[in-house]
Structure 1
Amino acid sequence: MFLPLMFPDRTGSVFGSEFPELYDRMYLCVCRTRRDSDGAAQYGIYDAPVTPFNSPVATLDYGAGGALGTVMFVGPGGSPRTHEMSSFLTVVGGPRHRKFTASDEKEYIWGWRTNTQDSLEEWTCVNSNGDTVAWYALGVPGEVYETSSGCAFGVEEQYPHLAVEFLASLLIMRYLATLNT
């Protein structure tokens, strides 16, 4: 049995936060790196212990007025892979269910679900077998946390090499949800 990577989300914001893994196995950070007067913006995802803080491992570029733009991942050796967000995450079964192909050439699907019994809402990412590989749980309404938003991002331990891709695709999913698209 494996211990998943657990990242408390410090702010809960789509536009910037820190994700320190509970057992110090990773430390991901999302920061705005540019904002233009027309509303276009760029956000970098940093893997703090692995790369210098000025070298993002992924970049999210949004267009003017908040339009979708591109997502770029920097692979081993610095080789970038750039995708149009609209074609990187394609709709399957409704706007809050989208699939993408990760660097391992496998397909993953993010979906939104509400657990009414426990009053929880979360995003889940599954592989082609339907196994959960990553998730994002929203904090419990009304609960206050000292060093966290109460939200948490998780990645199954077999997938640490895809944690950045899961986080980037999750941020785009959450961004689309704020736009109700």
Structure 2
Amino acid sequence: MQIHSLKAIPITLEDRTAAITNTDFDDMYDRVFFQVVRNPGDTTTKIYEMHVRASRYRNAVPVRGEPVITLDFQPNETLGTISFWKHQNCMPMNQFLRKMSFFGSSLMRKFTASDGREYKWSYRSLEEQEWTCSTADDSYLVAHYDLKPPEMPIYDVSGNKLIIYPHFAHITADVLASLLIMRHISQFNL
């Protein structure tokens, strides 16, 4: 029997609801957990890094502490600002997540992560991937987001997942926040 290090296994975050405002992202190997919270009638989405599987405590215990990232949308759901609690940094979302070209698709954008490197998201650019994140020069696949196929039965998991490859695990929160903004752009046709 061969034992593999968990560091070599991709972060596989199950997206419990596939909603962009209230969901949990729990790693299947219990390495990292995020809870995405937006109160009814509010335009602020907060991303919390949890110490335990977020979905177990969603309705039982209120979220405590500061969110790692806050997404403040405008009242009409257009892009607002993104705030990084750890880095004490706030910037406009359209500056954080920039279109690839002036006349290019709104569903293909690039961002600079907390490691200082540039990455890009694209919508349905690879088969079986709803969203694909790669390095800006397309030399590495960073992450992808997949929705459960409609014909797949639901058991104890949602089937929706964000997979982040091991070399990019250090930017998991950046990837998650940028994905939520990309999905927001798609949902509201921005």
Give the alignment of 1:11-26 within 5 angstroms: 11-26=17-32
Runs of 4+ in 1 over 6 A off after TM superposition: none
Quick check: 1:16–1:30 contact (8 Å CA) kept in 2? yes
Q: Which residue is 2:56 aligned to?
A: none
Q: 1:33 to 1:55 in 2, by over 3 A?
A: farther
Count of equivalent residues: 170
TM-score normalised per structure 2:
0.82
Q: Which residue is 1:49 aligned to?
A: 51
| Amino acid of the structure 1 residue aligned with 2:180 | L
Quick check: 2:20–2:184 contact (8 Å CA) kept in 1? yes
Greater fraction of residues in strand:
1
Gaps of 5+ in 2: 1-6, 53-62
Between the aligned partners of 1:126 and 1:15, the Cα distance in structure 2 is 24
Q: Which residue is 1:142 aligned to?
A: 151
Give per-residue Cα distances to partners, 1:121-145, cap 9 Å, x unaligned.
4211111342111111111023232
Gaps of 5+ in 1: none
Q: Which residue is 2:113 aligned to?
A: 102
- 1:58 matches 2:69: yes
Quick check: 2:77–2:188 contact (8 Å CA) kept in 1? no
Q: Which residue is 2:182 aligned to?
A: 173
Q: Which residue is 2:33 aligned to?
A: 27
Q: Which residue is 1:155 aligned to?
A: 164
CA RMSD in angstroms, aligned pairs only: 2.0
| DSSP-derived class of the 1:103 partner | coil
Give per-residue Cα distances to partners, 1:2-26, cap 9 Å, x unaligned.
2100011100001111111011100
Between the aligned partners of 1:54 and 1:35, the Cα distance in structure 2 is 22
Between the aligned partners of 1:121 and 1:180, the Cα distance in structure 2 is 20
Q: Which residue is 1:87 aligned to?
A: 95
| Amino acid of the structure 2 residue aligned with 1:53 | R
| Amino acid of the structure 2 residue aligned with 1:104 | D
Between the aligned partners of 1:54 and 1:81, the Cα distance in structure 2 is 17
Between the aligned partners of 1:160 and 1:121, the Cα distance in structure 2 is 19
| DSSP-derived class of the 1:66 partner | coil
